[in-house]
Amino acid sequence: KAGVTQTPRYLIKTRGQQVTLSCSPISGHRSVSWYQQTPGQGLQFLFEYFSETQRNKGNFPGRFSGRQFSNSRSEMNVSTLELGDSALYLCASSPGQGSLYNEQFFGPGTRLTVL
């Protein structure tokens, strides 16, 4: 089975722009989560989706949004980019019915640099 794929892998934007990141989960996985990873803050939870419904949202400003499509693929969008948004954005998918004890399978991430 193919793993979780994220596109693009690298992205450079300037302040004020917006960006859309894409995640394709492992085939059959219906749960997708997004995380922001920075050296200082570690892994911060952004969103969790299951069957197109947002199940959880982290403590991020409204500039961060996401969605999940009927094929379980997910996108996240960041508007009005700030320098502090520079980070590695990780997507993860889980098997089964979205059970809380299922492990997550991570993609390689999208490295976003905001100049």
Q: Does 58 bind other proteins (CB under 8 A)?
A: yes
Q: Which of 8, 27, 43, 71 binds other proteins (CB under 8 A)?
A: 43
Among 14, 17, 56, 113, binds other proteins (CB under 8 A): 56
In the chain, how many H helices and how many E strands?
0, 11
Reduce the DSSP state of residue 83 to 3 states and report it.
helix
State the burial class of residue 27 (Cβ atoms within 10 Å of its Cβ: 0-12, 13-18, 19+): exposed
DSSP 21: E
Query: Among 12-20, 62-70, 72-80, 98-106, which window interacts with other proteins (CB under 8 A)?
Result: 98-106
107 touches other proteins by CB under 8 A: yes
Of the residues 19, 21, 26, 90, which one makes contact with other proteins according to CB under 8 A: 90
Among 1, 2, 42, 62, contact with other proteins (rule: CB under 8 A): 42
Both tokens of residue 15? 């302040």
